[in-house]
Structure 1
Amino acid sequence: MVDAAGELSIAVRRPDTSLRRETPIWVVRLNDQVFVRTWYRRESGWFGAALVSGRARVRVPGLTADVTVEDVGSAAADLRAGLDDAYRRKYGSRGAGSMVTDEAAATTLRLAPERPPGL
Protein backbone atom coordinates (compact mmCIF):
# COMPACT_ATOMS: atom_id res chain seq x y z
CA MET A 1 0.00 0.00 0.00
CA VAL A 2 2.79 2.41 0.85
CA ASP A 3 4.58 1.67 -2.41
CA ALA A 4 1.48 2.48 -4.44
CA ALA A 5 0.64 5.65 -2.51
CA GLY A 6 1.97 8.90 -3.95
CA GLU A 7 1.62 10.49 -0.54
CA LEU A 8 1.10 9.47 3.05
CA SER A 9 -0.93 11.62 5.45
CA ILE A 10 0.66 12.03 8.86
CA ALA A 11 -1.00 13.42 11.99
CA VAL A 12 1.47 13.78 14.85
CA ARG A 13 0.32 12.98 18.39
CA ARG A 14 0.29 15.78 20.93
CA PRO A 15 1.33 15.16 24.56
CA ASP A 16 -2.36 14.71 25.49
CA THR A 17 -2.53 11.99 22.74
CA SER A 18 -4.85 14.02 20.51
CA LEU A 19 -3.83 14.33 16.89
CA ARG A 20 -2.52 17.40 15.10
CA ARG A 21 -3.86 18.25 11.65
CA GLU A 22 -2.92 15.76 8.90
CA THR A 23 -0.11 16.74 6.57
CA PRO A 24 0.50 15.00 3.22
CA ILE A 25 4.11 13.91 2.65
CA TRP A 26 6.02 11.75 0.20
CA VAL A 27 6.85 8.29 1.50
CA VAL A 28 9.22 5.51 0.45
CA ARG A 29 9.91 1.99 1.58
CA LEU A 30 13.36 0.43 1.81
CA ASN A 31 14.10 -3.07 3.13
CA ASP A 32 10.50 -3.42 4.41
CA GLN A 33 10.79 -0.22 6.44
CA VAL A 34 8.89 3.02 5.83
CA PHE A 35 10.61 6.41 5.66
CA VAL A 36 9.56 10.02 5.21
CA ARG A 37 11.49 13.26 4.85
CA THR A 38 10.75 16.94 4.78
CA TRP A 39 12.61 19.33 2.55
CA TYR A 40 12.27 22.27 4.94
CA ARG A 41 11.37 23.33 8.50
CA ARG A 42 13.26 20.67 10.44
CA GLU A 43 12.42 22.04 13.92
CA SER A 44 8.92 23.37 13.28
CA GLY A 45 5.63 22.28 11.76
CA TRP A 46 4.64 18.62 11.65
CA PHE A 47 8.29 17.53 11.57
CA GLY A 48 9.32 19.35 14.73
CA ALA A 49 6.24 18.00 16.51
CA ALA A 50 7.10 14.46 15.35
CA LEU A 51 10.60 14.76 16.81
CA VAL A 52 9.16 15.79 20.16
CA SER A 53 6.29 13.31 20.36
CA GLY A 54 7.79 10.28 18.62
CA ARG A 55 4.28 9.11 17.73
CA ALA A 56 1.84 9.70 14.89
CA ARG A 57 -1.05 8.27 12.93
CA VAL A 58 -0.48 7.71 9.23
CA ARG A 59 -2.93 7.07 6.44
CA VAL A 60 -2.67 5.83 2.88
CA PRO A 61 -5.57 4.47 0.84
CA GLY A 62 -6.63 1.22 2.49
CA LEU A 63 -4.55 1.64 5.67
CA THR A 64 -4.57 3.77 8.82
CA ALA A 65 -1.95 2.96 11.46
CA ASP A 66 -0.46 4.36 14.65
CA VAL A 67 3.31 4.53 14.35
CA THR A 68 6.42 5.40 16.27
CA VAL A 69 8.71 7.99 14.71
CA GLU A 70 12.48 7.60 14.82
CA ASP A 71 14.92 10.26 13.65
CA VAL A 72 17.48 8.54 11.40
CA GLY A 73 18.68 11.67 9.65
CA SER A 74 22.26 11.07 10.73
CA ALA A 75 22.19 7.40 9.71
CA ALA A 76 24.96 5.61 7.84
CA ALA A 77 25.82 6.62 4.29
CA ASP A 78 24.48 3.35 2.83
CA LEU A 79 21.00 4.02 4.29
CA ARG A 80 21.11 7.56 2.90
CA ALA A 81 22.11 6.31 -0.55
CA GLY A 82 19.38 3.64 -0.55
CA LEU A 83 16.73 6.16 0.47
CA ASP A 84 17.89 8.71 -2.10
CA ASP A 85 17.59 6.00 -4.77
CA ALA A 86 14.13 5.02 -3.47
CA TYR A 87 12.94 8.64 -3.75
CA ARG A 88 14.35 8.92 -7.29
CA ARG A 89 12.75 5.64 -8.40
CA LYS A 90 9.36 6.51 -6.96
CA TYR A 91 9.13 10.22 -7.80
CA GLY A 92 11.52 10.58 -10.73
CA SER A 93 14.95 12.16 -10.68
CA ARG A 94 13.63 15.69 -11.29
CA GLY A 95 10.66 15.44 -8.92
CA ALA A 96 12.74 14.00 -6.11
CA GLY A 97 15.46 16.64 -6.41
CA SER A 98 14.47 18.53 -3.26
CA MET A 99 14.13 15.28 -1.31
CA VAL A 100 17.67 14.02 -1.92
CA THR A 101 19.61 17.08 -0.77
CA ASP A 102 21.80 17.00 2.32
CA GLU A 103 19.23 19.15 4.13
CA ALA A 104 16.33 16.80 3.30
CA ALA A 105 18.36 13.67 4.11
CA ALA A 106 19.03 15.12 7.57
CA THR A 107 15.26 15.06 8.17
CA THR A 108 14.78 11.34 7.50
CA LEU A 109 12.30 9.62 9.82
CA ARG A 110 11.65 5.90 10.09
CA LEU A 111 8.00 5.00 10.80
CA ALA A 112 7.31 1.71 12.57
CA PRO A 113 4.01 0.18 13.68
CA GLU A 114 3.25 1.14 17.24
CA ARG A 115 3.16 -1.88 19.52
CA PRO A 116 0.39 -2.17 22.12
CA PRO A 117 1.63 -1.92 25.73
CA GLY A 118 2.81 -5.21 27.16
CA LEU A 119 3.97 -6.77 23.90
Structure 2
Amino acid sequence: MTGWNPDDLAAIDGDGELRVAAHRPDGTLRTPRIVWHVVVDGALYVRSVRGAEGAWYRGVQRTGTGTIDAGGIHTEVTFTRDDAHDDAIDLAYHAKYGDGSAVRSITTPAATSTTLRVDPR
Protein backbone atom coordinates (compact mmCIF):
# COMPACT_ATOMS: atom_id res chain seq x y z
CA MET A 1 0.00 0.00 0.00
CA THR A 2 1.30 3.42 -0.94
CA GLY A 3 0.16 6.35 1.17
CA TRP A 4 -1.51 9.49 -0.06
CA ASN A 5 0.43 12.61 -0.92
CA PRO A 6 -0.76 15.01 1.85
CA ASP A 7 -1.64 17.76 -0.65
CA ASP A 8 -3.67 15.36 -2.80
CA LEU A 9 -5.48 13.98 0.25
CA ALA A 10 -6.28 17.50 1.47
CA ALA A 11 -7.68 18.42 -1.98
CA ILE A 12 -9.82 15.27 -2.05
CA ASP A 13 -11.01 15.83 1.52
CA GLY A 14 -11.93 19.43 0.74
CA ASP A 15 -14.35 18.35 -1.98
CA GLY A 16 -17.87 17.42 -0.88
CA GLU A 17 -18.31 14.66 -3.43
CA LEU A 18 -16.08 11.89 -4.72
CA ARG A 19 -16.66 10.13 -8.04
CA VAL A 20 -15.95 6.40 -7.87
CA ALA A 21 -15.63 4.17 -10.93
CA ALA A 22 -14.87 0.50 -10.34
CA HIS A 23 -12.85 -1.58 -12.76
CA ARG A 24 -14.73 -4.41 -14.42
CA PRO A 25 -12.95 -7.78 -14.63
CA ASP A 26 -11.96 -6.91 -18.24
CA GLY A 27 -10.25 -3.71 -17.02
CA THR A 28 -12.79 -1.23 -18.35
CA LEU A 29 -14.39 1.25 -15.97
CA ARG A 30 -17.95 1.25 -14.77
CA THR A 31 -19.92 4.50 -14.87
CA PRO A 32 -18.69 6.85 -12.13
CA ARG A 33 -20.98 7.31 -9.13
CA ILE A 34 -20.92 10.13 -6.62
CA VAL A 35 -20.34 9.13 -3.00
CA TRP A 36 -19.52 10.94 0.21
CA HIS A 37 -16.08 10.45 1.68
CA VAL A 38 -14.12 11.30 4.80
CA VAL A 39 -10.51 11.30 5.93
CA VAL A 40 -9.62 9.76 9.29
CA ASP A 41 -6.06 9.40 10.58
CA GLY A 42 -4.60 10.17 7.15
CA ALA A 43 -6.70 7.56 5.33
CA LEU A 44 -9.58 8.06 2.88
CA TYR A 45 -12.83 6.18 3.51
CA VAL A 46 -16.09 5.68 1.62
CA ARG A 47 -19.32 3.84 2.35
CA SER A 48 -22.37 2.78 0.41
CA VAL A 49 -25.47 4.57 1.69
CA ARG A 50 -27.48 1.63 0.29
CA GLY A 51 -25.34 -0.91 2.11
CA ALA A 52 -24.18 -3.98 0.24
CA GLU A 53 -26.96 -3.46 -2.33
CA GLY A 54 -25.41 -0.26 -3.71
CA ALA A 55 -24.50 -0.79 -7.37
CA TRP A 56 -21.14 0.99 -7.18
CA TYR A 57 -20.25 -1.00 -4.04
CA ARG A 58 -21.07 -4.32 -5.72
CA GLY A 59 -18.88 -3.29 -8.66
CA VAL A 60 -15.96 -2.43 -6.38
CA GLN A 61 -16.28 -5.79 -4.64
CA ARG A 62 -15.62 -7.66 -7.90
CA THR A 63 -12.11 -6.32 -8.54
CA GLY A 64 -11.18 -4.14 -5.56
CA THR A 65 -9.81 -1.50 -7.91
CA GLY A 66 -10.99 1.54 -9.79
CA THR A 67 -10.57 5.29 -10.04
CA ILE A 68 -11.61 8.26 -7.96
CA ASP A 69 -12.02 11.89 -8.90
CA ALA A 70 -12.36 14.74 -6.38
CA GLY A 71 -10.71 18.04 -5.63
CA GLY A 72 -8.97 18.07 -9.00
CA ILE A 73 -7.32 14.72 -8.25
CA HIS A 74 -8.02 11.78 -10.58
CA THR A 75 -6.19 8.58 -9.72
CA GLU A 76 -6.24 4.79 -9.78
CA VAL A 77 -7.04 3.26 -6.39
CA THR A 78 -7.61 0.07 -4.46
CA PHE A 79 -10.59 -0.47 -2.15
CA THR A 80 -10.09 -2.49 1.03
CA ARG A 81 -12.71 -3.40 3.64
CA ASP A 82 -11.64 -1.70 6.88
CA ASP A 83 -13.83 -1.53 9.97
CA ALA A 84 -11.07 -0.56 12.39
CA HIS A 85 -12.14 3.10 12.60
CA ASP A 86 -15.92 2.97 12.16
CA ASP A 87 -16.72 5.14 15.20
CA ALA A 88 -14.26 7.82 14.10
CA ILE A 89 -15.59 7.59 10.53
CA ASP A 90 -19.15 8.13 11.81
CA LEU A 91 -17.97 11.24 13.65
CA ALA A 92 -16.12 12.45 10.55
CA TYR A 93 -19.25 12.08 8.41
CA HIS A 94 -21.22 14.15 10.95
CA ALA A 95 -18.49 16.79 11.13
CA LYS A 96 -18.18 17.09 7.35
CA TYR A 97 -21.79 16.74 6.21
CA GLY A 98 -23.92 17.65 9.26
CA ASP A 99 -26.61 15.73 11.09
CA GLY A 100 -29.34 15.45 8.44
CA SER A 101 -31.11 12.35 7.21
CA ALA A 102 -28.42 11.56 4.62
CA VAL A 103 -25.73 11.41 7.31
CA ARG A 104 -27.99 9.31 9.51
CA SER A 105 -28.29 6.93 6.52
CA ILE A 106 -24.52 6.74 5.88
CA THR A 107 -23.94 5.89 9.56
CA THR A 108 -26.47 3.04 9.84
CA PRO A 109 -25.22 -0.50 10.50
CA ALA A 110 -25.98 -1.45 6.87
CA ALA A 111 -23.84 1.39 5.53
CA THR A 112 -21.14 0.91 8.15
CA SER A 113 -20.78 -2.71 7.02
CA THR A 114 -19.51 -1.37 3.68
CA THR A 115 -16.70 0.87 4.99
CA LEU A 116 -13.84 0.84 2.49
CA ARG A 117 -10.39 2.37 2.79
CA VAL A 118 -9.33 3.92 -0.50
CA ASP A 119 -5.60 3.81 -1.26
CA PRO A 120 -3.71 5.15 -4.29
CA ARG A 121 -2.18 2.57 -6.65
For Structure 1 versus Structure 2, the TM-score category normalised by the shorter chain is 0.7 to 0.9
Q: How many residues align?
A: 110
If each structure's helix is expressed as a fraction of its own residues, which one has the higher value?
2
Deviations 1:5-33 (A, max 9, x none): 11100110011111010000001000110
Structure 1: distance between partners of 2:86 and 2:69 = 24
TM-score computed with the length of structure 2 as normaliser? 0.85
What secondary structure sits across from 2:110 in the alignment? Answer: helix
- Percent of aligned positions with the same letter in both sequences? 32
CA contact (8 A) 2:51 2:113 kept: no
Corresponding residue of 2:45 = 35
Corresponding residue of 2:6 = none
Unpaired segments ≥5 residues, structure 1: 115-119
Deviations 1:56-115 (A, max 9, x none): 10001310010001112xx24xx111000000000001241111111110011110011x
Corresponding residue of 2:74 = 64
Runs of 4+ in 1 over 3 A off after TM superposition: none
- Structure of greater relative contact order (alpha carbons < 8 Å, 6+ residues apart): 2
Q: What's the RMSD between the two structures over aligned residues?
A: 1.2
Corresponding residue of 1:117 = none
Which stretch of structure 1 is more off in the superposition, 84-93 or 40-49? 40-49
Structure 2: distance between partners of 1:90 and 1:47 = 21
Unpaired segments ≥5 residues, structure 2: 1-10
Alignment of 1:82-101 (within 5 A): 82-94=88-100, 95-101=102-108
Structure 2: distance between partners of 1:85 and 1:14 = 32
Structure 2: distance between partners of 1:92 and 1:41 = 20
